[in-house]
Chains A and B, each alone.
Chain A
Amino acid sequence: DAKTTQPNSMESNEEEPVHLPCNHSTISGTDYIHWYRQLPSQGPEYVIHGLTSNVNNRMASLAIAEDRKSSTLILHRATLRDAAVYYCILISNFGNEKLTFGTGTRLTIIP
């Protein structure tokens, strides 16, 4: 699987937007970009995914660069409950793919 690179940590003020970057310069044409997050003392949870076009759901937005070599997860209005480790993961198909987690970005929300 292609590798992703994320900053180790980020901070944001409560109620402000947060942009979490992910670089995936070796992404292949069939790789989907998935984001999961892990709240403290919990298992990871799915956030959003995309292939080429930007995506929105109730949790977040995903902005994908035109060359697909990077993407940004956008939390429009961060709350204290959004404090978590965010993982950017590439999945080559919708088959039986295991998730290959990196170390992710630890997001701290400042009240």
Chain B
Amino acid sequence: GAGVSQTPSNKVTEKGKYVELRCDPISGHTALYWYRQSLGQGPEFLIYFQGTGAADDSGLPNDRFFAVRPEGSVSTLKIQRTERGDSAVYLCASRSLDPASYNEQFFGPGTRLTVL
């Protein structure tokens, strides 16, 4: 079946602009995560959704970052007033809440954001 998809695959923007990054999780996966990966580092957690609500947003770096998941499926990560330090690969992952899934998270290919 289809995996997690993310669009766009690449996004170049100018400092100060607003961007939206989209994640389409695996159908039926209730849990959705956003991570950010800087060059040479492991992914860092940003936010977790269970259904439509953000169950844990402790990883969002500041109030310029916001994410929504209005219908419990597709999620959008929104970044306002982008800064050069926001440049990174933004990864989305989804997970089934079926206990048999052993907490396995399925990752998308990521969106590479470059802020000039």
Contact = CB atoms under 8 A, between A and B. Distances in A.
Interface of A: 32, 34, 41-46, 49, 85, 87, 91, 94, 96-104
Interface stretch (B11-19, B36-44, B60-68, B75-83): B36-44
Interface in B96-116: 99, 102-110
Contact of B33 (A41, A45, A98): A98
Contacts of B107: 42-45
B50 A101 contact: no
Given A43-B110, A96-B55, A98-B56, A103 B103 contact: no
Given A44-B107, A46-B105, A94-B99, A87 B48 contact: no
B105 A99 contact: yes
Contacts of A87: 42
Contacts of B31: 96
- Which DSSP category, helix, strand, loop or mixed, fits chain A's interface? loop
Nearest to A104: B42
A64 B104 CA distance: 19
Contacts of B93: 43-44, 99
Given A43-B107, A43-B109, A98 B45 contact: yes
